[in-house]
Amino acid sequence: MLKEKILVVFFLLSITILSVNAYALPQPPGMDFTFWDTEAPGTTNHWTHTLIGGDFDPVLQCTEPLVIERARLLLSLNFTPAFVGGTNPYVFIALVTLDGLPMSAKLIQHSFASGGLVTNWDWKANITNPFALNAIADKSAQIKITQILGTFDSVNFSSLRGKGVVGPEPISMALVGAGLAGLPIAVIFRRLLRK
């Protein structure tokens, strides 16, 4: 009888310890945060947004697992459109990717009545690709512009911002799951000890 009670207490204590460990993070799981990082890439067509603690509100330790719920990219571009004819004959089209993944279905796409260098042109898009959102969770997002029509010149600034929540620490949660899965085994042991 005493062995049965010790075994049950041992399993319950193990699950409690594992559960507490899973939530022993600098910021609690489920806590909302926003982030905002701005870069000045210049003449390059690819650059990286590296998210550090101060880029988050509230400030994060950057050891927490993150779940990015939504994000948005704003670019200020300088480019020269190509002549293609038609009503607005000068066109600039480019594709933007995040870590090699399309951010959304939206291209940088503008047509103009006259040619010449276009400066300080703002382009913004919501990041809707779930894989691209997941890519931001590693706190390093590489942005790349691939021109399709026209000539890319430079990027004055790139602003990546969004919202997410702190997720539960995955290894500890796996241990919690293993502990819960072990409960039926505890019942079997208890029955065996009775015999």
Q: What is the pLDDT of residues 139-187, one digit of tens each?
A: 999 999 999 999 999 999 999 999 999 988 654 444 445 455 555 555 5
Provide the pLDDT confidence category of residue 68 given band limits of 50, 70 and 90.
Answer: very high
Structure tokens at 50: 């590296």
**Pairwise pLDDT comparison (108 vs 12), residue with the higher score:** 108
Provide the pLDDT confidence category of residue 15 given band limits of 50, 70 and 90.
Answer: low
Tokens 């040619």 belong to 115
Structure tokens at 98: 């995040």
Structure tokens at 177: 């799951």
Report pTM: 0.73
Quick one: which H or E segment has residue 152? strand 151-166
Q: What is the pLDDT of residues 152-162, one digit of tens each?
A: 999 999 999 99
Answer whether residue 12 shows pLDDT above 60: no
Q: What are phi and psi of 143, to 5 degrees?
A: -100, 140
